[in-house]
Structure formats: structure tokens, C-alpha cells
Structure 1
Amino acid sequence: MPCVDRADFRDTDDESTLILSAGGLHVVMIRLRYGGRWGDTDEVINSAGDVATGAVSSWTLIGQVLTLELNRRAAERLGFPRDYRLRLDLTPEAFSLARASLLDILYAECFVVDMPEGRVTS
């Protein structure tokens, strides 16, 4: 399971992007593009720059483990397993940023997230 040590969030008028990195290298980017041809579209981008659109079927953030359930086509395109897990070894501030960003970007997907107030599900 890849271990992430940095989370960055970029937000523009056109998109919101969460960048998860390890050792200074991008591991995965999760992006929401606004108002495209078919409305808002989520994307997952691997470290090689390959993009899979509508890739995430569901996701969880339980403890420090982020699990993205990818559809078959996306997993093959990205070279990830369908059940892609990342360990988020982040500072409390970066972890909060990553959690909030995931909720913002992937809110329309099925999810389970541990919050300070308790577990939240879609």
C-alpha cells in the first residue's frame, strides 16, 4: 500500500484538485472539473499523467487508509488495482485538508468517512 506524506489542494474556477504525494513525487491526483460537456466530471490521474474519467465508484477514509473503488476500465488505464488503497501519513492539518477535499471532489459518489464527530456515510 503506497504511503502518502503530503496533500495539496488547488481550486480554480474550472476545477478542484487534491494532489497526494510521497517523497516529493505525485502518487495520485483526484480532480473535479466543473461544467464540462456533461456537467461536473471527476477524474483520477496517476503519476504518469494517465487520466481516467468517472473512475471512482465509491470510496472510504477510515483511520489513515483511503480506499478508492475504481471501475475496471479506470483501474486498467491507471495501472491500479480496482480496490486502490493509500495510507495517509499526514500532519493533522494536511489530513483535515485531504478529507475536506475528498468530500468536496467526490461528494456525489458513495462514501464512508471517519470525522471527528463520528463516521459519516453517503
Structure 2
Amino acid sequence: MPDIQGFRPIGVPMPESEPVVLLYEEYEALKLMDYKGLTQEESSVLMDVSRPTFTRIYEKARRSVAQAFVEGRALVIEGGHYHACADEGCHRCRRANSGGACCRRDTKQSINKGDNYENCCARKGKCN
């Protein structure tokens, strides 16, 4: 999960409108694609979702950020469908991984503070 809770406009009074919500999985999609420069295929594997599902998450994230910027609204990062791990290891095989990397369980996406996906068993349930 991100270390921040959101962003707000600077230099303008805060509007009375509700903040735009960016879900945790949307934040993760932006981080993987736009910050880390991964492809959609690579990002979908790391989040353990299909490529079309990743594309929908990513497009929604970009729309949310654009809406907040254009309308001068605060952006709050919260909620969504995910499973956050600390040091308990992979939920698929229960093997402890360095840095607490984890994999998707059921229909929830993995988001691991510290961004340690390299040790995740995102493919075929096998730990690296």
C-alpha cells in the first residue's frame, strides 16, 4: 500500500465537492505502468489478473487522476479489492518470501508495502 493517503490541489481553495477516490489496485496499476515502466502484460502478471482486467483497472486509474486534476479536487487513495501482506509469505503456497512478497488470493489483488513482487509466485502458484 502507498505511504500516502492522497493529494490535494495547492493554491486554490478546496472545493466543496467530494474528493476523487483512487482504489489501491488503481494506484498499483499506475505505479507499475507509469512509474516503473512495465508493460501491461508484465503488470498484469505481477498483480495476478488477466491483461483485460489490468487494462480496465489502469484506464479507470488514469480517468480518476485526470478528473481530480482538471476539476481541482482532492485525490484520496483507499479501498478496492486487494489482499495486503506483511511478512506472512505467499498465500498460495504458504512459503515465506523475503520482504513479505505475496500473491493474489481468491479474487483479491496483491499489494505489498515495500514493492517486493519479484519474489511472488504469480505464475502457476510456484514460488521463486
Q: What TM-score range do you get, normalising by the shorter chain?
A: under 0.3
Whichever of the two has the greater Rg, that structure is 2
> What is the TM-score with the length of structure 1 in the denominator?
0.25
> What is the TM-score with the length of structure 2 in the denominator?
0.24
| More strand per residue | 1
Structure having greater relative contact order (Cα 8 Å, sep ≥ 6) = 2
| More helix per residue | 2
